[in-house]
Amino acid sequence: MTESPSTAQSPTTTRSRAQRRQARGARWRHSTVELAAVFLAVATAELTANVVVHGHDGPVLLIASALALLATAVFHAWWAHRHPHGAPPPTPEGEAGPPAGTMLWRLRTTVSDAPGSLAAVCTALAALRVSIISLQTHPLPEGTVDEFLLRAPRELPRAGLTEAVALAGGREIWTDPADAHDLVDVPTHVLGLATRTALDAAELPVALRQLFGRLTVRHFPRRAGEEPSPGLAGHLMRLPTPDGALIELSRPHLPFTPTEFARAKALIDLDGVLGPRVPKVADRLRGPAGTELTVRRAVPEDRAAALAMHHRCSTETLRRRYHGPVADADRYLGHLLDPRHGQTLAVETADDELVALAHLLWDDDSAELAVLVEDAWQRRGLGVDLLRRMAALAAEAGVATVYAVTQAGNTALIGAMQRLGIPLDYQVEDGTLVITAHLAGAADQLPDPWPSLPGRP
């Protein structure tokens, strides 16, 4: 017959338990003394009141009571000096306290579909003093993709975080710094994006990028006799639209999951059911010589008025705007006025005649700015006003940079971009100038694009 060995306890564990028992005993003694003092004070006050009211030596007793209170106060001060309230005891050895500085991380890893696999990852994170703020699970045919929002000590490097998850059984690990905007729970975030998409068709590409991070969105129009082929293949997602077109999403740094495919399809289906829509926003402009001008969001029905403006523009104005043959300018309007590709602002007179157009076209994490002002209305501030509004709309959509492509000699556009008052970069190649404006940190310098509508959604 053999005896099983007993489980030994470390001296650190024994010392920690003894310290906790000692602290609990001290708290009980302190509470008992305070309770007894309260009862004694109440009884003394009752007795003193009865004697003062019904006795013959009331004034003497009052003076004696005052002296007793004074003596008690002096004793309490002496006791507090001899037994001060010290700082809380230090954290016992082996027990981690809260980290002094933290940062947020997004982490995604694939684990095996087996009991305890997620628990092993969570245990590894806890050992590094990493808090799990939120968790999403994406089931796969084999395994599960777990996506975490973490709060980790600032001194913990990305490599250390990745190594700990890998040792716990995680594979295909991806990490990325997060910020306060990621603290919104996923259902609330998705509903907010759906609301923005429902109000404005131009928000669909922005919503997809905010839902899945950095990706490329391409829109392929419907071709006669060709049916779109939807599907999900690793880093590529293809989804049909109700009108027969195809939207393609690509994300090289991270493969898509079936759960993300379903979310994207729901947003695109919502966009198709609601159809083309543009919010009815407008603002008044001060035109020269008292002319009444209105700036508003353009709609596909403005195509005829935009074509008429093209025909009033000079060849040089159209060439500076479209960077190509003037004959191709008219065919671009269908794409530019489609709200699914971006936002377009139109300036019209009281006679419903368009005199300027400004386009904000989504391009991955950035957006392209383009402005066309009819010759008779140039150098009157319309271009600068439109650029400021478009930059503000881009900042509202979370775009970090906007850029304008023009000819190197287009001094009017260069001057208008400089008047935005935000950092600019210039790149010239073969006579083509690209001006990039950095909106990060400069959003407060941009005006409200629709100041006359403070209650707009």
204 lies in some domain: yes
The answer, yes or no, to whether residue 246 has pLDDT greater than 80, is yes
State whether 190 and 227 are in the same domain: yes
The answer, yes or no, to whether residue 224 has pLDDT greater than 50, is yes
Examine the fold and report which residue of 182, 201, 232 is the final residue of a domain before the chain moves on: 182
Q: Using N-to-C axis directions, what is the helix angle for 258-274 and 186-199, rounded to 10°? A: 30
Give the pLDDT band of residue 229 (cuts 50, 70, 90): confident
123 lies in some domain: yes
Q: In what order do the strands lie in the sheet with 216-220?
A: 216-220, 246-250, 236-240, 231-233
Q: What pLDDT score was predicted for residue 253? A: 84
The answer, yes or no, to whether residue 309 has pLDDT greater than 90, is yes
Examine the fold and report which residue of 182, 204, 226 is the final residue of a domain before the chain moves on: 182
Give the pLDDT band of residue 67 (cuts 50, 70, 90): low
The answer, yes or no, to whether residue 85 has pLDDT greater than 90, is no
How far apart are alpha carbons 31 and 89 in whole angstroms? 19
Q: What pLDDT score was predicted for residue 38? A: 54
What whole-number percentage of the chain has pLDDT above 90? 27
For 333-392, strand residue ranges (E) read 342-349, 354-363, 366-373
Q: What pLDDT score was predicted for residue 62? A: 55
Q: Which amino acid is present at 456?
A: R
State whether 217 and 176 are in the same domain: no
How far apart are alpha carbons 399 and 392 in whole angstroms? 10
Distances in Å between the alpha carbon of 39 and those of 1, 42, 43, 47?
62, 5, 6, 12
The answer to which of 56-65, 252-261, 402-411 has the lowest mean pLDDT is 56-65
Q: Assess contact for 253 and 174: CB atoms under 8 A.
A: yes
Number of domains in the chain: 3
How far apart are alpha carbons 329 and 320 in whole angstroms? 11
Give the pLDDT band of residue 69 (cuts 50, 70, 90): low
State whether 437 and 298 are in the same domain: yes
CA-based nearest residue to 212, from 173, 180, 259:
259
Q: Assess contact for 101 and 153: CB atoms under 8 A.
A: yes
The structure tokens listed for 23 are: 């602290």
CATH assignment at residue 414:
3.40.630.30
394 burial type by CB count under 10 A (0-12 exposed, 13-18 middle, 19+ buried): buried
User: Please, which residues have CB within 8 angstroms of residue 14's CB and are 6 or more apart in sequence?
Assistant: none
pLDDT in tens, 11-33: 444 444 555 555 555 555 656 65
Beta-strand pair 282-286/246-250: unpaired
Distances in Å between the alpha carbon of 269 and those of 233, 262, 362, 429, 446?
20, 10, 20, 41, 34
434-456: average pLDDT: 71
State whether 375 and 437 are in the same domain: yes
Alpha-carbon Rg of the chain, whole angstroms?
A: 35
Q: Assess contact for 152 and 100: CB atoms under 8 A.
A: no
How far apart are alpha carbons 191 and 189 in whole angstroms? 6
The structure tokens listed for 113 are: 């579909």
Examine the fold and report which residue of 120, 149, 182 is the final residue of a domain before the chain moves on: 182
Task: Output the pTM of the full model.
Answer: 0.64
What whole-number percentage of the chain has pLDDT above 70? 73
62 lies in some domain: no
CATH assignment at residue 134:
3.30.70.260
Instruction: Give the distance, in angstroms, between the CA of residue 180 and the centroid of all CA atoms in the same chain.
Output: 6
State whether 215 and 314 are in the same domain: no
Domain extent, residue 242, equals: 186-274
Q: Assess contact for 322 and 359: CB atoms under 8 A.
A: no
State whether 302 and 419 are in the same domain: yes
65 lies in some domain: no
31 lies in some domain: no
How far apart are alpha carbons 117 and 119 in whole angstroms? 5
The answer, yes or no, to whether residue 197 has pLDDT greater than 50, is yes
Q: What pLDDT score was predicted for residue 285? A: 77
Distances in Å between the alpha carbon of 294 and those of 306, 379, 447?
15, 17, 17
- φ, ψ of residue 413 to 5 degrees: the values are -70, -40
State whether 419 and 321 are in the same domain: yes
User: Bridge-partner residues for 240, per DSSP?
Assistant: 246
pLDDT in tens, 251-300: 888 899 999 999 999 998 888 888 878 888 888 876 666 678 899 999 88
H helices of 84-243, in order, are 117-127, 158-167, 186-199, 203-212
The answer, yes or no, to whether residue 207 has pLDDT greater than 50, is yes
